[in-house]
Structure 1
Amino acid sequence: MKKVAFIFPGQGSQSVGMGKPFFDENETIQTQFQKADALLDTPLTTYMFEGPEETLTKTEHTQPALLLTSTAIASLLNEAGVKPAMVAGHSLGEYSALVAAGALTQEDALQLVQTRGRLMEQAVPDGQGAMAAVLGLEVEQIEEVLQQVRDNGVVVEVANYNCPGQIVISGSQEGVQQASEQLKEQGAKRVMQLNVSGPFHSSLMKPASEQLEQALEQASIKDAEVPVYANVTAAPVQSSSDLESLLVQQLYSPVRFHETLQNMMDEGIEAFVEVGNGKVLSGLVRKVNRRMKTFAIQDPESLQQFIDWYKEDEA
């Protein structure tokens, strides 16, 4: 068997129409989607297939929509006999990774991320938090600027270490604005404000993390069957207590995705399989190592192409 890693996308990868190609031709997927609508008491499938986009992009809808799509595709991979050697997810995607690793049920994960989305929305009043992507500057330069801005008494921190030359910052509106101006002066190619509803992965999320901890304690998290590379540490984890603790920390800690990808590559992975909507993570993999083989599974055709490759040596 080939040695593959599954990676699961986070917020920002959603789009109207997501998951529909699988739903249209697979009864198992139809059942999963219908159960999710009932469980969450939300017409999630309608938002996913028909929009409107502004409804789908509300955090409390986006998070379960992405998780449902990713975990539904992962269940089809499992049915086809594909077993990942390890898994990881970007932010929200870590919950999908835990489902694929057998640490969470799809039902528990859906309820958790709906709660997580609501808590993230409520943590900071609308318009008071912000995030921005910084392109083309070294990490050390960015962190130096952020420290100078924090010395002025405002909050701004690194939220995502995505790949070489792409860092996301998060904090108060004022903090992100001050940092953005200074980073441009320092030579950043671009600093782009992100269309998000809050300062995710910053210390401003700590109040939400305390409430999330209560929800996680009520969910049944098991030991993972395969290593899950955690956002907070970029290291493999399998014990349920560690997984739970890291999910709490994840809300206010930076996502160390570049390091995660590198650590997984160091384990001799033959391919990364992006399981879910979009191709954002596949792009990040190529920026870390352009020779690395990637698959992005978001419709039945790309699923079959990957399965054919995975099983080609079995004949």
Structure 2
Amino acid sequence: MDIKTASVALIFAGQGNPTIGMGADLWDINNTTKAIWDCASDISGTDIRRVCLKGPMNKLVQTTNQQVAVTAINATLYALCRDRLDEARITGSCGHSVGEYAALYAAGAVTLDDLFRMIHFRSRLMDELSKVNKGAMQAVKGIDYSSMAALIADSGIGVDISCDNSRRQQVIGGTVVALREMTEVLMAQGIETTKLGVSGAWHTRLMDDGVQQMRDFLANIAIQTPQHEVLMNVTGEPVTDPAEIKENLALHLTHTVKWTASMMRFLSQPSPVTFVEVSNKAYLGHMLNDFDGFSPTMALHCRKLSDTHGDL
């Protein structure tokens, strides 16, 4: 594929893969990157640079820190590659879980200050709910959404599908006890599971009490019509109306991340598409290997944008 003629789809990472030192090569590159990390620290009230650099891991993994850190990295990497992208060729953007907020920022729907205000509120709300309704999440490999949903229904175990990542990977969430029971069911069928490095059961019923609180907070945030399509997690479809965007961000707390639907929409476009992954470390591009019609030449990590391929 000629990446200089293909449309560009920006895909932004979420949390779940924190590493000590992440972002350390980004925050002091220029005045723009410094401003992003200053904004993240000022609004969150945490020296997010220090948390990323020093940890400890049990602090970095806390959603109040991890969400801010991931968003700072996403916003910084986007700022660094923005000038090398032909914006006219950006067909859309999509962010996985908390990455959805960076996707909206990249589309000009929210300001930098409001981006971090939303992340700060969201992460604190989710952290509070996770302490009341304790839970965890596990990745499940080798299974599609329908099969996973059927297994859950047949078992009667109270877990939810948090993320429909691909036709070969789901993420489930629930209480520790429920996840243990579901893991036994999956293991009996030879299905592999991996615990995720998060501090709660995101996108599940355990977050239900936060939906109205999120609605109330977002009522005071100015969201503009995106400058390009943003495929939202709740629907897997592009949404342009600011009021509908806000509602989806509120429902986002309890609804499945429909990543499969979003990626299939990009792949079904009549013109070729190049996926530019915006993340600390590539993993969203790897998941695309599970999709029909995708080849590795269609994905590019933002860190390689300038040194490997030049302008897009």
Question: Do these two structures clear the TM 0.5 threshold for a shared fold by scoring above it?
Answer: yes
Letter in 2 for 1:180: T
The alpha-carbon deviation at position 119 of structure 1 amounts to 1.1
Name 2:44's counterpart in structure 1: 40
- The separation in 2 between residues aligned to 1:124 and 1:21, in whole angstroms, is 31
1:157 corresponds, among 160, 169, 193, to 160
1:119 corresponds, among 116, 120, 125, to 125
- The separation in 2 between residues aligned to 1:35 and 1:130, in whole angstroms, is 30
Letter in 1 for 2:216: Q
Name 2:248's counterpart in structure 1: 246
CA displacement, residues 189-219 of structure 1 (integer Å, 9 cap, x when unaligned): x122323211111111110222111121111
Note if 1:19 corresponds to 2:23: yes
Cα 1:250–1:54, aligned 2, differ >3 Å: closer, same or farther?
Answer: same
Pairs within 5 Å for 1:1-315: 2-83=6-87, 84-125=90-131, 128-150=134-156, 155-188=158-191, 190-267=192-269, 268-288=271-291, 289-298=294-303, 302-305=304-307, 308-310=310-312
- The separation in 2 between residues aligned to 1:126 and 1:164, in whole angstroms, is 33
CA displacement, residues 254-282 of structure 1 (integer Å, 9 cap, x when unaligned): 01111211101112342101112111111
Cα 1:210–1:269, aligned 2, differ >3 Å: closer, same or farther?
Answer: farther
- The separation in 2 between residues aligned to 1:181 and 1:101, in whole angstroms, is 43
Query: Is the 8 Å Cα contact of residues 271 and 295 (structure 1) preserved in structure 2?
Result: yes
CA RMSD of aligned residues (A): 2.0
Letter in 2 for 1:34: D
Query: Is the 8 Å Cα contact of residues 271 and 294 (structure 1) preserved in structure 2?
Result: yes
- The separation in 2 between residues aligned to 1:242 and 1:195, in whole angstroms, is 31
SS of the residue aligned with 1:218?
coil
Question: Which is worse superposed, 135-144 or 246-255?
Answer: 135-144
Question: Which is worse superposed, 111-120 or 92-101?
Answer: 111-120
- The separation in 2 between residues aligned to 1:303 and 1:261, in whole angstroms, is 21
SS of the residue aligned with 2:114?
helix
- The separation in 2 between residues aligned to 1:187 and 1:86, in whole angstroms, is 38
What percentage of residue pairs aligned between the two structures are identical? 27
Cα 1:138–1:185, aligned 2, differ >3 Å: closer, same or farther?
Answer: farther
CA displacement, residues 89-109 of structure 1 (integer Å, 9 cap, x when unaligned): 000000000000111112111
Letter in 2 for 1:45: R
Letter in 2 for 1:218: N
Cα 1:28–1:195, aligned 2, differ >3 Å: closer, same or farther?
Answer: closer
Cα 1:204–1:292, aligned 2, differ >3 Å: closer, same or farther?
Answer: farther
Q: Where in structure 2 are there 5+ consecutive unaligned residues?
A: none
Query: Is the 8 Å Cα contact of residues 266 and 273 (structure 2) preserved in structure 1?
Result: no
The alpha-carbon deviation at position 285 of structure 1 amounts to 1.6
- The separation in 2 between residues aligned to 1:25 and 1:141, in whole angstroms, is 46
Question: Which is worse superposed, 44-53 or 112-121?
Answer: 44-53
Query: Is the 8 Å Cα contact of residues 142 and 183 (structure 1) preserved in structure 2?
Result: no
Q: If the length of structure 1 is used for normalisation, what is the TM-score?
A: 0.89
- The separation in 1 between residues aligned to 2:133 and 2:241, in whole angstroms, is 38
SS of the residue aligned with 1:221?
coil
Letter in 1 for 2:30: N
Cα 1:292–1:266, aligned 2, differ >3 Å: closer, same or farther?
Answer: farther
- The separation in 1 between residues aligned to 2:113 and 2:123, in whole angstroms, is 16
Q: Where in structure 1 are there 5+ consecutive unaligned residues?
A: 311-315
